[in-house]
């Protein structure tokens, strides 16, 4: 049995999640609920839960603040949040799980299915939370799931990302290349706007590492490591606009 806490300032939201967990997730036992950061910190210390369902926005702070105030995090965290773009991006950067409000029973069930009972790697969880907290005022690091485990990478060290079916190759400034077990689209969603741009269906590049652009139908980007990346015709003007502040001329 998994002992869980629900920490959310909205009673209606707490009740909705409690009812879904009771009805659809039989292996979860909700042992307590709290409506604020202060109450949540005290409840976690008293109950020693296996998992905490944690809201982002509360009257006396955020779920991130609660994690900062909790020592020795030995529980799994599933965030429960409305569509808060910055918070969601921070959560995705850290590879932690989340449920969107209003509560969708199937999303809750999928999140619960990911909860590990024996053999939880709390060191990995602590590293994820550390990255989450480090990024809460500006994105610096990202958690990348690989077949071997988790990689924790400085965003400024990523040269480019390349799609490989349902996986993604990451290329670092150190010359290292490794495979990540998520799609390029997921990284396009969270890295675009942070000096990254999708130049092709298969490629996302860090513009800080672009050495030059070669003309062509779409053109080619040459990166500082010498690698060449094709630019699709339909993405060409967006790329040139980002690099120069002006759209492409359309002439070669």
User: What would the pLDDT profile of 41-70 be if each residue is shown by its tens digit?
Assistant: 999 999 999 999 999 989 999 999 999 998
Categorize the per-residue pLDDT at 249 as very low, low, confident or very high, splitting at 50, 70 and 90: very low
Residue 73: per-residue pLDDT: 87
Residue 154: per-residue pLDDT: 94
Sign of CA dihedral 189, 178, 164, 180: negative
Categorize the per-residue pLDDT at 162 as very low, low, confident or very high, splitting at 50, 70 and 90: very high
Residue 250: per-residue pLDDT: 43
Categorize the per-residue pLDDT at 19 as very low, low, confident or very high, splitting at 50, 70 and 90: very high
Rg (CA), the chain: 21
Check whether 246 has a pLDDT greater than 70: no
Query: Bigger pLDDT: 228 or 250?
Result: 228
Residue 66: per-residue pLDDT: 94
Categorize the per-residue pLDDT at 251 as very low, low, confident or very high, splitting at 50, 70 and 90: very low
Helix-helix angle 122-134:85-94, to 10 degrees: 140
CA dihedral 124, 99, 9, 69 (to 10 degrees): 10
Rounded Cα distance between 46 and 154, Å, is 36
Mean pLDDT within 190-203: 92
Mean pLDDT within 181-205: 94
Contacts of 188 (CB under 8 A, 6+ apart): 196, 198, 204
Domain boundaries, the chain: 2-134, 145-244
Residue 119: per-residue pLDDT: 63
Check whether 247 has a pLDDT greater than 90: no
Instruction: Give CATH superfamily name and number for 145-244.
Output: LytTr DNA-binding domain (2.40.50.1020)
Categorize the per-residue pLDDT at 137 as very low, low, confident or very high, splitting at 50, 70 and 90: confident
Q: Do residues 183 and 168 lie in contact, with contact meaning Cβ atoms separated by under 8 Å? A: yes
The mean predicted confidence, pLDDT, of the chain is 90
The Cα diameter of the chain in Å comes to 68
225-to-47, 151, 200 alpha-carbon distances in Å:
52, 21, 19
Residue 117: per-residue pLDDT: 64
DSSP 177: E
Percent of the chain with pLDDT over 90: 68
What are 93-129's pLDDT values in tens digits?
898 999 999 999 999 999 988 887 666 788 888 889 9
Check whether 181 has a pLDDT greater than 60: yes
Residue 252: per-residue pLDDT: 42
Instruction: Give CATH superfamily name and number for 2-134.
Output: Response regulator (3.40.50.2300)
Place of tokens 């005290």: 42
Rounded Cα distance between 225 and 193, Å, is 22
* 205-235 per-residue burial string, b: 16 or more CB within 10 A, e: under 16: bbeebbeebeeeebbebebeeebebbbbeeb
Rounded Cα distance between 14 and 54, Å, is 10
Distance separating the N- and C-terminal Cα atoms of the chain: 65
Tell which residue, 211, 188, 213, 212, has the closest CA to residue 201: 188
Sign of CA dihedral 164, 168, 172, 176: negative
Locate 34 and state its tokens: 């709290």
Locate 109 and state its tokens: 């069930």
Residue 106: per-residue pLDDT: 93
């Amino acid at each position: 049995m998994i002992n869980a806490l629900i920490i959310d300032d909205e009673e209606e939201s707490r009740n909705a999640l409690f009812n879904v967990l009771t009805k659809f997730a039989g292996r979860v036992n909700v042992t307590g609920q709290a409506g604020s950061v202060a109450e949540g910190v005290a409840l976690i210390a008293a109950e020693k839960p296996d998992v905490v369902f944690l809201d982002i926005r509360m009257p006396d702070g955020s779920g991130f603040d609660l994690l900062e105030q909790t020592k020795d995090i030995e529980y799994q965290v599933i965030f429960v949040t409305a569509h808060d773009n910055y918070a969601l991006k921070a959560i995705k950067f850290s590879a932690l799980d989340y449920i969107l409000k209003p509560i969708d029973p199937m999303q809750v069930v999928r999140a619960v299915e990911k909860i590990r009972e024996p053999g939880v790697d709390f060191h990995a969880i602590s590293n994820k939370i550390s990255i989450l907290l480090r990024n809460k005022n500006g994105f610096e690091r990202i958690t990348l799931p690989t077949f071997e485990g988790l990689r924790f990478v400085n965003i400024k060290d990523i040269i480019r990302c390349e799609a490989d079916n349902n996986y993604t190759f990451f290329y670092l400034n150190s010359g290292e290349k490794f495979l990540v077990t998520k799609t390029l689209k997921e990284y396009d969603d969270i890295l675009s706007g942070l000096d990254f741009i999708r130049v092709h269906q298969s490629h996302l590049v860090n513009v800080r590492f672009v050495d030059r652009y070669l003309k062509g139908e779409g053109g080619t980007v040459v990166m500082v490591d010498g690698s060449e990346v094709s630019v699709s015709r339909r993405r060409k003007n967006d790329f040139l606009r980002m690099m120069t502040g002006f759209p492409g001329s359309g002439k070669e």
